[in-house]
Chains A and B, each alone.
Chain A
Amino acid sequence: MKVIGEFLSDRDELLKLEPFTAGFAAQAGLSEADLFALQIVVEELVTNVIDYGGVPAGELAATVELSTESDDWVVFIRDRGKEYNPLLREDPDTTLPAEQRQIGGLGVHFCKKLTDAQSYAREDGCNVLVLRKRRSQ
Chain B
Amino acid sequence: MNIDSRVRDGIRVVQLGGRMDGFGAKEAAAALPATDDPAKLVVDGSEMSYLSSAGVRVLLGWQKAAAAAGGAFALCGLQPFCRSVLEMSGLAGMIPVFDTVDEAVEELRVHSAGGNVGETVNTDAGTFEFHPVSGGGGTIDILGDIAYVLDCVVTEDLVADKPFFETEYSLGLGALGARPQDYLPVMGEAIMLAGTMVWLPTDGNDTPDYMIPRKASTDVVLRTAFNASLRGGFNEFAVFRAKEGKPASIRDIYRAVFDLAPRRRHDYRGVLGLVMRAEIHEAFGAGIVKSPLLENQPANGLPITDPSNFPEWFESDRSPRHAGTTALVCGVGADLTADLSGIDGDRLERMFYVNPANLGSQSEVLHNHAVFFTGAPPPVGGCDMDAEMRRVVEGGEFADMRHLLDQTTVVSALIAVSYVQEVREDRNV
Same complex for A and B? Answer: yes
Interface residues of A (CB under 8 A from B): 11-12, 14-15, 17-18, 36, 39-40, 43-44, 47, 50-51, 89-94, 96, 98, 101-110, 113
Q: Are B216 and A47 in contact (CB-based, < 8 A)?
A: no
Q: Are B23 and A104 in contact (CB-based, < 8 A)?
A: no
Q: Are B85 and A40 in contact (CB-based, < 8 A)?
A: yes
Residue in B54, B165, B213, B394 whose beta carbon sits within 8 Å of that of A92 in the complex = B213
Residues of A within 8 A of B394 (CB): 98
A-B Cβ contacts below 8 A, count = 97
Q: Are A109 and B219 in contact (CB-based, < 8 A)?
A: yes
Contacts A40-B52, A89-B219 given; does A18 touch B19 at CB 8 Å: yes
Instruction: Indicate whether B195 reaches chain A with its CB closer than 8 angstroms.
Output: yes
Q: Are A104 and B22 in contact (CB-based, < 8 A)?
A: no
Report how far A91 CA is from B219 CA in the complex, Å.
Answer: 10
Instruction: Indicate whether B117 reaches chain A with its CB closer than 8 angstroms.
Output: no
Residue of B nearest to A102 (CB): B57
Residues of A within 8 A of B89 (CB): 103, 106, 109-110
State the interface size on chain B (CB cutoff 8 A): 34
Report how far A106 CA is from B23 CA in the complex, Å.
Answer: 17
Contacts A14-B23, A15-B23, A101-B195 given; does A107 touch B53 at CB 8 Å: yes
Contacts A47-B54, A110-B85 given; does A103 touch B23 at CB 8 Å: no
Q: Are A101 and B23 in contact (CB-based, < 8 A)?
A: no
Closest Cβ–Cβ distance, residue B375 to chain A (whole Å): 18
Closest Cβ–Cβ distance, residue A76 to chain B (whole Å): 20
Closest Cβ–Cβ distance, residue A38 to chain B (whole Å): 12
Report how far A88 CA is from B212 CA in the complex, Å.
Answer: 18
Report how far A12 CA is from B23 CA in the complex, Å.
Answer: 7
Instruction: Indicate whether B353 reaches chain A with its CB closer than 8 angstroms.
Output: no
Residues of B within 8 A of A12 (CB): 23
Give the top 6 A-B pairs by smallest Cβ distance, nearest first: A105-B216, A90-B216, A109-B218, A47-B22, A107-B53, A106-B53
Closest Cβ–Cβ distance, residue B193 to chain A (whole Å): 14
Q: Are B215 and A96 in contact (CB-based, < 8 A)?
A: yes
Q: Are A11 and B166 in contact (CB-based, < 8 A)?
A: no
Residues of A within 8 A of B217 (CB): 103-105
Report how far A102 CA is from B165 CA in the complex, Å.
Answer: 10
Q: Are A110 and B166 in contact (CB-based, < 8 A)?
A: no
